[in-house]
Amino acid sequence: MPYFMGIDIGSGTSKGVIVNDGKMVASHLLPSGVNYREAAQKVRQELLAKAGLSPAEMAHTVVTGLGGNNLPFANQQAADLPCCARGVHFIFPDVRTVIDVGEQAARVLRVSPEGRVTNFVISERCAAGSGRFLRIIANVLRIDLKDVGPLSLQSKNPVTFTTGCAVFGESEAVSRVAEGAAKEDILAGVHKALANKIAMMVERVGLEPECAITGGGGRDVGLIKRIEENLGIRLLVPPDPQIITALGAAIMAEEQARLTAAPELKS
Amino acid sequence: MVTEKKKKTINRLQSMYPLRANIDEMYKRVVEASKVGKPTAWCMVNWWEADPILKAMDIELVYPENYGAVCAAVGTAQTYLSRSDADGFPTHMCGYARNCFGYAARMKELGEIPPEAPLGGMAKPVLLVSSGALCDARYKWFQALGRYVEAPVWTMELPHPGVVESQKEGAYEGAIAFMVKELREFIEFLEKLLGKKMDWDKLAEMTDDLVKVNRVWFEINELRKARPSPMNSRDFWSCMNASLYPSGDPKVSLKLYQDMYNEVKSRVDNHIGAVENEKYRLAFAELPPWHDLKIFDELAERGWNFVVESWAYHPPKPIDTSQVSDPLRRIAMHTYQWLTGYFQDALAPREYMGYFAFPYLEWARTYQCDGALLHPLLTCRTATNHLMLVQDRLLNKLKVPSLVAEGDIVDLKLFNHADTMKKAVIFEEIMDHYKQARREAGFEW
């Protein structure tokens, strides 16, 4: 029985998924570090070990993400948003709008009933709207990134950030700390700023329910709450939102192999 | 070792090369003319309001906007942009203007054409002719050149008919009369400046030649509607200057455009496309990133054929002025047509289309485009403001999606090549989706 692998090398985290006959067999993720090629090799090795499979058992591998260039084990490189669309469609077939908050950028995409991208917008040219903004502020506040969401939910008086810029936002957070603002209020303020930016992007492509959130941002309950408040909707959150693009890459690998490979795969 | 020469992905028109060479040689011709004391002018694109008159008065013309594109394409622009920035001009101002300021500053500093200037440089002018058409930066740009260049500035004025009232009875005649009056004053000014009289027969002949040039150029672009499209936007941009500005001797340009028509027609008859495997047909708006034209070759490798582009640089829809004996009225009618030729159609749907946006809608339909690549220019509001409307109308009226890639005509720091290519790959899935959607909705393509 052939297996199919999807690898997504993001600027913050590298993710991998193996699927078999339309079912997820294993997933894995680790920090990307500074060498994307090494990260890709490592996530692949550990993913295979987790699944108890050998490289030879992978019928087709699709890589995607910022560090997905020229990986020797890949059969195919794909753009990340089509992979994300397929991954979301696999989990939530009714989703038509996806908010993907990654380390490098936030992206909003519209998805067809077949799981294909029909429109998209990316927060570009600055880190506003990205997970990196949250990491920077968490660093300023000396708290672990995983604690950002729960702490933010405790806020009673969110700080208003006058900027959407991550660089200026860092300075502003430092100023608020010096003024004695509570950490949870600063975090809630950051979440509001991010949610505002993301809401503008959603407006640009048009919101069609259902709407899901993926990427590292999908693990941040504080951010999810603020986006939901801003858009007036409930977001669908996959069980592991960070692996969705890798999952989509694996699904694409299976699709591709069935289209082009041996007759037994086409059945 | 034998190395295989990489095949060009865009099948460039052979007739483009002599046309382009004739355009490029304009700079050298003007430098030579300047050396022997002939009058030379720096002239903004004015949609022919001034060009026939200047040419008929034997003034040699160069166009700083075109020169901005040339400097960007050969990589010299950053030198001039930096110089403009250092002299205090805002970095968000028109890239063409900044390039021109930097060039003029260098020329004043050296007392001669800067040695790094491509195509022989722009000769020192005795006259600056600006235009009030389309863009506010162009009102002040040549005035600001007074810091570096000692030459009088004449601004070509014309009506701005961007409102529905321009369709009222008498409005057209009023606009033409206004322009004719402006042109007469311009001629009086030139006669005083040069100490010679206008040769009216020569002006009539010049005008006639230019009308013929635009007609052939229009017909060439009509042929691009064929499948596969025989001519890519790269050839359009290489050749538009002989019509738009118009660079060079119109009689020479006319012959070269006729040669091009024959080649394009032959391609249509033989089903030869500009891109070997035309998978996607695209429109482009607005001006391209002149510093990164190779991106169109890379997109052609993916089967993208740009079959039509920015309407304001296309020749106007033809009108018959053969019975108009006054060359000034004829000039006015053609300039007005250039800028307003699609306006009446834009008003017809009784829904706001924007007369800048409407031509893209018409062309996406008639050229059967699968998508549009919109290039908002961060230093040009005029070329940018309507693009979001274009995006909305194309999608909602014709189910034609658009890819937005921000950038600039001159400043390469404002354009992200890798990011645009990455988005282009994603955009293919979107074009595929809407191709299906158009079929289901009963569109022809």
Contact B426 A117 (CB under 8 A): yes
Residue A63 predicted with pLDDT over 50:
yes
Q: State residue B375's pLDDT score.
A: 94
Q: Sorting pLDDT into bands at 50, 70 and 90, what band is A264?
A: low
Across A87-110, average pLDDT: 96
Question: Taking CB atoms and an 8 Å cutoff, what residues of chain A touch B425?
Answer: 79
- Residue B118: asked if its preceding bond is cis (omega within 30°), the reply is no
User: B418 — contact with chain A (CB < 8 Å)?
Assistant: no
Q: Do A120 and B430 touch (CB under 8 A)?
A: yes
Q: Give the span between the Cα atoms of A127 and B229, in whole angstroms.
A: 41
C-alpha dihedral over B88, B139, B97, B289, to 10 degrees?
130
* Range(s) of the domain holding residue A220: 93-237
pLDDT digits (tens, 9 = 90+) for A199-248: 999 999 999 999 999 999 999 999 999 999 999 999 999 999 999 999 99
What the block records as the tokens of B59 is 């003034």
pLDDT for B340 equals: 87
Yes or no, beta carbons of B426 and A116 under 8 Å apart: no
CATH code, A260: 3.30.420.40
Residues A204 and A244 in one domain: no
Task: Give the pLDDT band of residue A129 (cuts 50, 70, 90).
Answer: low
Q: From first to last of the 445 residues of chain B, give the pLDDT tens digit.
A: 445 556 679 999 999 999 999 999 999 999 999 999 999 999 999 999 999 999 999 999 999 999 999 999 999 999 999 999 999 999 989 999 999 999 999 999 999 999 999 999 999 999 999 998 888 888 889 999 989 999 999 999 888 777 778 888 999 999 999 999 999 999 999 999 999 999 999 999 999 999 999 999 999 999 999 999 999 999 999 999 999 988 889 999 999 999 999 999 999 999 999 999 999 999 999 889 999 999 999 999 999 999 999 988 999 999 999 999 999 999 999 999 988 888 888 888 777 767 788 899 999 999 999 999 999 988 888 888 889 999 999 999 999 999 999 888 888 888 889 889 999 999 999 999 999 999 999 999 9
Enumerate residues 113 to 142 of chain B having a beta carbon within 8 A of any beta carbon in chain A.
none
Domain count, chain A: 2
- The mean pLDDT value of chain A amounts to 91
Same domain, A127 and A197: yes
Q: Which of B417, B425, B429 to mutate to test the interface with A (most CBs of A within 10 A)?
A: B429
Which residue from B minimizes the CA distance to A78? B425
Chain A / chain B CB contacts < 8 angstroms = 29
Q: With contacts defined as CB-CB under 8 Å, which chain A residues touch B433?
A: 112, 116-118
Cβ burial A143-174 (10 Å sphere, 16+ → b, else e): eebeebbebbeebeebbebeebbbeebbebbe
Contact at CB, B426 and A79, closer than 8 angstroms? yes
Q: Is the domain of A191 the same as that of A104?
A: yes
The whole-number pLDDT of residue A267 equals 43
Is the complex ipTM more than 0.85?
A: no
Residue B32: which residues within 8 A CB-CB, separation 6 or more? none
| Amino acid, single-letter form, for residue B55 | K
Whether pLDDT at A125 is above 90: no
Give the pLDDT score at B1: 45
- Residue B372, beta-bridge partner list: B283, B402
Check CB contact of A117 with chain B, cutoff 8 Å.
yes
- ∠ CA B295-B300-B304, rounded to 5°: 110
Residues A197 and A77 in one domain: no
The answer to whether B347 and B362 have CB atoms below 8 angstroms apart is: no
Q: Do A220 and A99 share a structural domain?
A: yes
Q: What is the pLDDT of residue A162?
A: 73
pLDDT of residue A163: 67
Assess whether A128 and A202 both reside in one domain. yes
Reading the block at residue B227, the tokens are 């499948």
Q: How many residues does chain B have?
A: 445
A101 and A229 in a single domain? The answer is yes
pLDDT in tens, A7-40: 999 989 999 999 999 899 999 999 999 999 999 9
Q: Are A232 and A101 found together in one domain? A: yes
Q: Which pLDDT score, from 0 to 100, does residue A252 have?
A: 96
Asked whether residue A226 falls in the same domain as residue A107, the answer is yes
Q: Give me the residues of A, 76-95, that contact B with CB < 8 A.
A: 79-82
Give Cβ neighbours of residue B326 (< 8 Å, ≥ 6 apart). B180
Question: For A112, which residue in chain B has the nearest alpha carbon?
Answer: B433
Chain segment B334-351, per-residue pLDDT in tens: 999 988 888 888 888 777
Q: Can you give the pTM of this predicted structure? A: 0.88
- Smallest Cβ distance to A116: which of B419, B422, B429? B429
The structure tokens listed for B288 are 């391209």
Residues A115 and A194 in one domain: yes
Kindly state whether residues A233 and A248 are assigned to the same domain: no
Residues A139-153, mean pLDDT to the nearest whole number: 93
b/e B349-360 (16+ beta carbons within 10 angstroms → b): eeeebbbbbbbb
Chain A residues closer than 8 Å to B413 by CB = none
CA-based nearest distance B371→chain A, Å: 12
| Rounded distance between C-alpha atoms, residue B307 and residue B281, angstroms | 6
- Matching residue, tokens 């009088």: B152
Looking at the structure, tell me whether residues A33 and A154 fall in a common domain. Answer: no
In chain B, residues with a C-beta closer than 8 Å to the C-beta of A112 are 433
Q: What pLDDT, on the 0 to 100 scale, is given for residue A263? A: 55
Cis bond upstream, residue B152 (ω within 30): no
Closest B-chain CA to A113: B433
